[in-house]
Homo-oligomer: A and B are copies of this chain.
Amino acid sequence: MFIAMNRFAIVKGQEEAFETVWKERDSKLAKVPGFQKFHLLKGPFDEEAGTTLYATHTTWNSQEDFVNWTKSDHFREAHKNAGSNRDLYAGPPRFEGFETVLSE
């Protein structure tokens, strides 16, 4: 199993606007080979930075399935507006990919 997480630092007060962007998007992930599950997660508030951590959390059968998706037309279509809503973000998203070592 492969977990792809993208971490977003959201400016204080913009949390609801950020969630709305995700809730209203037209996702076609369910049709992508190897896709298992998507969650948008809300993390802790960073007092020092004044930002709230969010993370997208997508589970795939394998890293290969994830990489194939990033090379697809579907991926390009899903990210064509990624530059909009810049005022919500304190910086660019940070990607982290994880392989499962152990499960219980």
Contacts and interface: CB of A to CB of B under 8 A. Distances in A.
Contacts of A41: 3, 98-101
Contact of A40 (B23, B27, B53, B102): B102
Interface in A44-86: 44, 53-55, 57
- Tally of this chain's copies: 2
How big is chain A's contact interface, by range? 20 to 34
Given A3-B41, A97-B44, A30 B102 contact: no
12 contacts: A1-B39, A3-B41, A19-B101, A27-B104, A37-B103, A38-B104, A39-B102, A41-B99, A41-B101, A43-B97, A54-B101, A55-B98
Interface of A: 1, 3, 19, 22-23, 27, 29-30, 37-44, 53-55, 57, 96-104
